[in-house]
């Protein structure tokens, strides 16, 4: 998904990147990351096989999709070695991840539903498929 951490911000000719690789599994996205997403004019969402198993990636995706809808922000999905339909329909590795989420969050299914909706919305956006040879 988008990347972020206040300790790892880069600037390159007006482009700021934020790396979120220091966020531990199970932790909520930080207020700094939420702010970075809200202040971004453009988000690049990188989907790979492991995204759906990460709840913080899914929470971050919800924020990005909210910003595209409410604030008119642009987003570009990149499907890295992944069929975009697996993201859109939550099949393949995404189905496996959601089976686990539904078990863990059976008392909070509204959270799982929001994650599914965000994935579907993001995958509907025209993006790049690495299998097409762009990378």
What is the rounded end-to-end Cα distance, in angstroms, of the chain? 17
Non-local CB neighbours of 103 within 8 Å, separated by 6+ positions: none
Structure tokens belonging to residue 99: 């089976």
pLDDT of residue 6: 35
Q: What pTM did the predictor assign? A: 0.79
For 42-130, CATH number? 3.40.50.10140
One digit per residue, the tens of pLDDT, for the chain of length 135 reads 544 433 334 445 566 666 565 555 555 667 877 888 888 888 999 999 888 999 988 999 999 999 999 999 999 999 999 999 999 999 999 999 999 999 999 999 999 999 999 999 999 999 998 888 755
pLDDT at 130: 86
Catalytic residue among 60, 102, 110, 117: 60
Residue 67: what pLDDT? 94
Give catalytic status of residue 60 as yes or no: yes
Domain ranges of the chain: 42-130
Q: What is the pLDDT of residue 89?
A: 94
Strands lying side by side in the sheet with 74-79? 42-47, 74-79, 128-129
Cα 115 to Cα 19: distance, rounded to the nearest angstrom:
21
Burial of 62 (0-12, 13-18, 19+ CB in 10 A): buried
Q: What is the pLDDT of residue 10?
A: 43
Q: How far is CA 125 from the centre of its chain?
A: 13
């Amino acid at each position: 998904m988008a990347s972020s951490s206040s300790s790892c911000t880069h600037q390159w000719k007006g482009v700021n990147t934020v790396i979120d690789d220091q966020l531990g599994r199970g932790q909520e996205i930080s207020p700094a990351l939420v702010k970075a997403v809200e202040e971004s004019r453009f988000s690049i969402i990188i989907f790979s096989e492991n995204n759906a198993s990460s709840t913080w990636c899914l929470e971050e995706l919800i924020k990005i999709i909210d910003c595209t809808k409410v604030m008119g922000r642009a987003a570009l999905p990149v499907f890295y070695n992944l069929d975009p339909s697996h993201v859109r329909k939550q099949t393949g590795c995404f189905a496996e991840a959601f089976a686990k989420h539904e078990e863990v969050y059976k008392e909070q299914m509204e959270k799982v539903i929001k994650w599914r909706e965000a994935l579907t919305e993001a995958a509907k956006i025209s993006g790049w498929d690495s299998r097409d040879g762009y990378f």
